[in-house]
């Protein structure tokens, strides 16, 4: 029996963007950070001001960029799906922090202290049989 050859991955020219992923609960953010960008922050083909109308969500999403003073110097494009808006903004924050680490490894200690590199693993607990929800038991009846 002949031995199968392993697929050889082609080496391509370096990209002009950094691609990362961030997750939180059910939200998944796929991000492209262009180092020589124009300062635009696009989320699901909409400006960030439109997609995250609430200021807290916007601030959470761009926190790492503001902290390293790169908000105006890079271009960011994000596709985010699943979860609620707050979980989506936290997923975007994780993706941005990971992209900045690829750009400059010296920022690792600062971002680690801020907690931006830790993936929050808390997700919804599954429903158990015989219960109404994950832990909620049916109400007891005397008669």
Which domains are assigned to the chain? Answer: 18-114 (3.30.230.10)
Give the per-residue pLDDT at 16: 87
For 33-46, what is each residue's pLDDT tens digit?
A: 998 888 899 999 99
Q: What share of the chain in percent tops pLDDT 90? A: 78
Q: Output the pTM of the full model.
A: 0.83
Residues in the chain, pLDDT under 50 = none
Which 3-state string (H, E, C) describes the chain? CCCCCCCCCCCCCCCCCEEEEEEECCEEEEEEEECCCCCCEEECCEEHHHHCCCHHHHHHHHHHHHHCCCCCCCEEEEEEECCCHHHHHHHHHHHHHHHHHHHCHHHHHHHHHHCCCCCCCCCCCCCCCCCCCCCCCCCCCCC
């Amino acid at each position: 029996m002949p031995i199968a050859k392993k697929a050889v991955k082609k080496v391509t020219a370096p990209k002009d963007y950094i691609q990362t992923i961030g997750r939180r609960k059910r939200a998944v953010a796929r991000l492209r950070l262009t180092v020589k960008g124009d300062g635009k922050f696009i989320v699901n083909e909409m400006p960030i001001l439109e997609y995250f109308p609430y200021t807290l969500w916007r601030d959470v999403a761009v926190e790492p960029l503001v902290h390293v003073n790169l908000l105006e110097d890079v271009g960011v494009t994000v596709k985010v799906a699943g979860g609620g808006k707050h979980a989506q903004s936290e997923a975007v924050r994780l993706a941005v922090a990971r992209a900045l680490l690829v750009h400059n490894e010296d920022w690792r200690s600062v971002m680690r202290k801020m907690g931006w590199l830790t993936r929050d693993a808390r997700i919804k607990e599954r429903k158990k049989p015989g219960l109404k929800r994950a832990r909620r038991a049916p109400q007891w009846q005397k008669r």
